[in-house]
């Protein structure tokens, strides 16, 4: 595959930013979170995985910062493109246009949800799946969020957040200050500089439609996400990787490891939701071991 940045044109006429790094016979396609985030926490994966011969491709999904951004204020556009089916089928179209097959697919958070759905619908194209910091349903996530708030914040702040959410007062400064405390404790524990920008890069129209205002509420379409009855149908080797101090409940991750027939669960200590940046040495050791075990027919072990 061509290295560097390539702009691909989708069949719908929109354009996506893609970037490929490294060389080798092993191919890894990366799906970012959000929805509405971007590729940036994948940028060092080509370098980190170069010693085992992995070529890494990442892209910004439709609506995200480096790709085309439709006018989602148009109800017809929002109805057509702000759907699970659109983003799932976008992964498959990207695969086709990049010429990938028998490849590894990694997704973080929302990208992990897409990875599960892709493995269920298009698993014949996969050599392995890596589900990073995403569980298979939102109900258990919401229960865990209540526990997170109670552990990290005074009771009066928790009650204040709930009042703001009931009133839709998302921009209240005290409310956002509480969100930032939670972010630093459970999302970006190291608050790494590579993901900081002078301007916001989140595609808020996409994020709000699926998630809501922040990581600690779910008011959008994701509130109905539930694949608990389907994970047993994922047949490809699967790595589940989570931070040990993050937004997603590890109890759910352990259950998922039992439900997916050919799976392994790895957790990263001293790390939150973005554990590839909070504790890279451990994260990449787990990822390399998984890929090499699959490549050398040592999986599962």
Read off the pLDDT of residues 104-129 as tens digits, 9 standing for 90 and up. Answer: 999 999 999 999 999 999 999 999 99
Give the model's confidence band at 75: pLDDT under 50 very low, under 70 low, under 90 confident, else very high.
very high
Mean local confidence (pLDDT), 147-157: 97
Task: Count other C-beta atoms under 10 Å from residue 288's C-beta.
Answer: 15
Q: What is the pLDDT of residue 174?
A: 97
**Which stretch of DSSP H or E encloses residue 107?**
strand 103-108
Q: What is the mean pLDDT of the chain?
A: 95
Tell me: pLDDT of 221 over 70: yes
Q: Note the pLDDT of residue 300.
A: 74
Report the pLDDT value the prediction gives residue 195, as an integer from 0 to 100. Answer: 64
Distances from the Cα of 287 to the Cα of 148, 179, 274, angstroms: 27, 30, 14
Whether the per-residue pLDDT at 192 is higher than 80: the answer is no
DSSP of 284-296: HHHHHHHHHHHHT
User: Does residue 282 register a pLDDT over 70?
Assistant: yes
Give the residue from 222, 205, 216, 208 showing the smallest Cα distance to 162.
216
**Rounded distance, CA 110 to CA 102, Å?**
22
147-to-133, 240, 265 alpha-carbon distances in Å? 17, 22, 22
Task: Tell me the mean pLDDT in the region 272-299.
Answer: 95
Helix (H, G, I), strand (E, B) or coil at 254: helix
Percent of the chain predicted with pLDDT > 70: 98
Backbone angles phi, psi at 269, to 5 degrees: -70, 155
């Amino acid at each position: 595959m061509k290295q560097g940045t390539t702009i691909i044109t989708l069949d719908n006429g929109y354009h996506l930013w893609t970037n490929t790094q490294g060389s080798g016979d092993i191919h890894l396609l990366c799906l970012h979170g959000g929805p509405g985030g971007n590729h940036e926490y994948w940028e060092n994966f080509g370098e980190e995985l170069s010693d085992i011969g992995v070529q890494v491709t990442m892209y910004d999904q439709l609506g995200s910062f480096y790709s085309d951004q439709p006018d989602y204020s148009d109800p017809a556009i929002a109805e057509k493109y702000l759907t699970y089916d659109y983003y799932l089928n976008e992964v498959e179209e990207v695969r086709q246009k990049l010429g990938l097959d028998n490849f590894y697919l990694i997704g973080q958070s929302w990208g992990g949800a897409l990875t599960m759905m892709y493995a269920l619908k298009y698993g014949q194209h996969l050599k392995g799946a890596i589900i990073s910091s995403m569980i298979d349903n939102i109900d258990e996530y919401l229960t865990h969020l209540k526990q997170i708030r109670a552990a990290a914040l005074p009771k009066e702040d928790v009650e204040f957040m709930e009042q703001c959410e009931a009133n839709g007062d998302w921009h209240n400064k005290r409310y956002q200050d509480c969100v930032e405390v939670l972010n630093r404790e459970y999302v970006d524990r190291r608050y790494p500089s590579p993901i900081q920008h002078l301007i916001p890069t989140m595609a808020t129209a996409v994020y709000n439609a699926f998630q809501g205002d922040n990581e600690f509420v779910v008011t959008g379409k994701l509130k109905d996400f539930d694949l608990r009855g389907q994970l047993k149908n994922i047949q490809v080797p699967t790595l589940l990787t989570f931070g040990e101090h993050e937004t997603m409940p590890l109890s759910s991750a352990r259950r998922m490891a039992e439900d997916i027939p050919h799976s392994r669960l790895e957790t990263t200590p001293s790390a939150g939701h973005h554990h590839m940046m909070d504790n890279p040495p451990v994260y990449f050791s787990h990822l390399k071991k998984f890929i090499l075990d699959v490549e050398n027919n040592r999986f599962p072990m």
